[in-house]
C-alpha cells in the first residue's frame, strides 16, 4: 500500500483554513477523537456529528469525520454508550475513526460557511456582514551586520515572519550604521572591550502574526551574530479584515422577494423545514445578507447594512416579527442544516487543494460529503385554515 497522509497533516491543513484561534470562547473546535499519527485516506464531511452520520462514516470506511457542529460542547463526565454522545465517541474510537470540528472558526473564515451559502445562491461581490479585525500583526525591526542579514531574514521567515498573502520571506532591508562600545564583561562578535565601534549594518523589517512574536524573537536572538542584538517590536494598528460574521452580496439579476425565495429553495437541499419567507413577497431585491446557521441576533446589523433581503436559519417569532415591524428587509428562513450544508463541499475542495500544496501523497485522500439530512424536523404540516377553524373556549 502506498504511504498515506497522517491525521496530524490533515488537521494542520484544516487549521490553516479555519484557524482555531478564530473560534468563539464558548466553542469547542479542533480534534475531538483520533491520533495525529494515524493514517487518513477517506474523509467524510457532515454538518452534525450525530450517530447516523458516525454510522455512515464507519460504513464507508472513513478515517476522519469532519463536522461543523461540535459533538462535545458542554462538560462531559462519561463517554459510556448509555449516553448518545458517549455512544458516538465509542463508535468513533472502536472504528479508528477520527473526528475534527470546525465551527465558529469556519463561520468567520475567508472563505467560510456564509460564503458557501452566498455562492450557492449566485450572489457576487461578497463582503462580511459584520467585519472582524484582521489577525493582529507585529513588525520586527532589527539591525544586523551586512554579511549576516540574509541569514537573519531566513531565520525570521522560518519562525513565521514575512508572510504577506501568497508571498513568503517578505522583508525590507536598508543600509544603516551601528555604533557601540563593548564594556568589560562583554563578549563582542565585532570589536574589542573599551573601543568605540562603527559597523555597516543592514536594517531588516518584517511583519509577523502577533501570536508568533515569541518564536520570531527567539529565532532573531539565535541567528543574530551579536551578543546583544538591537531590535524593536511594533504593534501594527488593527485594520478591518476580509473575515467576519455573515456575508453581504449582490444578486446580479435581481428580482422579487418571492423569486429570491424560489432561488434559495432551488439552490439548497430539500428538507421538511423548507424555505419560509417573511415580508412583502413583491418587494424588489438586489442586495442580500446571508448568514449560515442561526441568525436572529443579527437583525440590527442587517438593518444597518440596508440590504433588501436576509437569508438565514432559526428565526424565531418575536425577533422576526419585531424586525419586520421595524421595516427589516425581507426574511428568508431556511433549515439550519441546509444553510450550512453547501460549506461541506467547499471545505472538502479547499482541504484537498491545501494538502496538495503541502504533501506529495495528498492524492491518496478521498473526500465525500454526507447527504444525510440531520435536521431534527422530519415533517412540516400546514395545519387547518384559521378562518374556518372553530376556536374552543376553555371550560
Q: Under the rule (CB under 5 A), what is the footprint of Zn ion?
A: 293
Is the Cβ of residue 205 or residue 314 nearer to Zn ion in the bound state?
314
Is the Cβ of residue 128 or residue 292 nearer to Zn ion in the bound state?
292
CA 35 remoteness from chain centre: 23
Smallest Cα–Cα separation from 351: which of 17, 63, 70, 49? Answer: 17
Tell me how far, at minimum, the Cβ of 128 lies from Zn ion, in Å: 18
Is the Cβ of residue 246 or residue 293 nearer to Zn ion in the bound state?
293
Is the Cβ of residue 102 or residue 285 nearer to Zn ion in the bound state?
102
Is the Cβ of residue 42 or residue 243 nearer to Zn ion in the bound state?
243
Is the Cβ of residue 335 or residue 367 nearer to Zn ion in the bound state?
335
Strand-pair partners of 31: 100
Is the Cβ of residue 27 or residue 366 nearer to Zn ion in the bound state?
27
Q: How far is it, in rounded angstroms, from Cα 43 to Cα 46?
A: 10
Tell me how far, at minimum, the Cβ of 21 lies from Zn ion, in Å: 20
Tell me how far, at minimum, the Cβ of 83 lies from Zn ion, in Å: 22
Exposure class string for 232-268: b at 16+ Cβ within 10 A, else e? eeeeeeeeeeebbbbbbbbbeeeebbebbbebbeebb
Tell me how far, at minimum, the Cβ of 231 lies from Zn ion, in Å: 44
Tell me how far, at minimum, the Cβ of 340 lies from Zn ion, in Å: 5
Tell me how far, at minimum, the Cβ of 187 lies from Zn ion, in Å: 59
Residue reference for cell 532591508: 173
- Chain residue whose CB lies nearest Zn ion: 293
Q: How far is it, in rounded angstroms, from Cα 95 to Cα 54?
A: 10
> Where are any strands of DSSP class E within the chain?
5-6, 30-33, 39-40, 42-46, 64-67, 98-101, 124-133, 137-145, 172-180, 197-209, 231-235, 240-256, 276-278, 284-294, 309-313, 330-334, 366-369
Q: Where are the alpha helices (DSSP H) in 61-148?
A: 84-94, 104-107, 113-120
Is the Cβ of residue 249 or residue 293 nearer to Zn ion in the bound state?
293
- Residue 163 buriedness (CB in 10 A; 0-12 / 13-18 / 19+): middle
- Residue 108 buriedness (CB in 10 A; 0-12 / 13-18 / 19+): buried
Is the distance from CB of 344 to CB of 304 less than 8 angstroms?
Answer: no
Tell me how far, at minimum, the Cβ of 317 lies from Zn ion, in Å: 20
Strand-pair partners of 257: none
Smallest Cα–Cα separation from 105: which of 245, 259, 8? Answer: 245
Is the Cβ of residue 182 or residue 293 nearer to Zn ion in the bound state?
293
Tell me how far, at minimum, the Cβ of 237 lies from Zn ion, in Å: 33
Tell me how far, at minimum, the Cβ of 48 lies from Zn ion, in Å: 9
Amino acid at each position: 500500500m502506498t504511504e498515506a497522509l497522517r491525521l496530524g497533516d490533515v488537521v494542520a491543513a484544516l487549521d490553516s483554513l479555519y484557524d482555531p484561534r478564530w473560534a468563539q470562547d464558548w466553542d469547542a473546535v479542533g480534534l475531538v477523537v483520533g491520533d495525529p499519527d494515524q493514517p487518513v485516506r477517506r474523509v467524510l464531511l457532515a454538518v452534525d456529528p450525530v450517530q447516523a452520520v458516525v454510522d455512515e462514516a464507519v460504513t464507508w470506511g472513513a478515517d476522519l469525520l469532519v463536522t461543523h457542529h461540535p459533538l462535545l460542547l458542554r462538560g462531559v463526565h462519561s463517554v459510556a454508550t448509555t449516553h448518545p454522545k458517549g455512544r458516538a465517541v465509542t463508535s468513533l474510537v472502536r472504528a479508528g475513526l477520527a473526528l475534527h470540528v470546525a465551527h465558529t472558526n469556519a463561520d468567520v473564515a475567508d472563505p467560510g460557511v456564509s460564503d458557501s451559502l452566498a455562492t450557492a445562491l449566485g450572489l457576487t461581490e461578497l463582503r462580511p456582514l459584520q467585519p472582524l479585525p484582521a489577525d493582529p500583526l507585529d513588525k520586527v525591526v532589527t539591525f544586523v551586520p551586512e554579511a549576516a542579514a540574509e541569514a537573519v531574514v531566513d531565520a525570521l521567515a522560518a519562525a513565521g515572519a514575512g508572510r504577506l498573502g501568497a508571498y513568503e520571506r517578505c522583508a525590507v532591508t536598508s543600509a544603516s550604521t551601528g555604533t557601540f562600545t563593548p564594556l568589560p564583561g562583554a563578549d563582542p562578535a565585532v570589536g574589542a572591550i573599551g573601543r568605540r565601534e562603527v559597523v555597516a549594518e543592514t536594517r531588516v523589517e518584517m511583519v509577523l502574526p502577533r501570536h508568533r512574536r515569541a518564536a520570531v524573537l527567539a529565532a532573531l536572538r539565535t541567528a543574530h551574530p551579536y551578543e546583544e542584538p538591537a531590535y524593536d517590536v511594533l504593534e501594527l494598528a488593527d485594520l478591518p479584515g476580509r473575515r467576519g460574521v455573515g456575508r453581504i452580496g449582490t444578486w446580479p439579476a435581481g428580482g422579487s422577494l418571492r423569486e429570491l425565495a424560489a432561488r434559495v429553495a432551488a439552490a439548497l437541499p430539500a428538507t421538511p423545514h423548507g424555505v419560509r419567507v417573511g415580508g412583502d413577497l413583491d418587494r424588489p431585491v438586489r442586495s442580500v445578507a446571508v448568514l449560515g446557521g442561526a441568525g436572529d441576533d443579527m437583525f440590527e446589523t442587517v438593518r444597518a447594512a440596508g440590504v433588501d433581503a436576509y437569508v438565514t436559519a432559526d428565526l424565531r417569532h418575536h425577533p422576526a416579527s419585531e424586525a419586520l415591524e421595524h421595516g427589516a428587509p425581507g426574511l428568508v428562513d431556511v433549515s439550519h442544516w441546509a444553510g450550512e450544508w453547501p460549506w461541506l463541499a467547499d471545505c472538502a475542495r479547499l482541504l484537498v487543494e491545501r494538502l496538495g500544496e503541502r504533501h506529495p501523497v495528498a492524492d491518496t485522500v478521498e473526500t465525500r460529503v454526507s447527504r444525510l439530512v440531520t435536521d431534527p424536523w422530519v415533517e412540516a404540516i400546514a395545519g387547518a385554515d384559521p378562518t374556518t377553524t372553530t376556536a374552543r373556549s376553555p371550560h
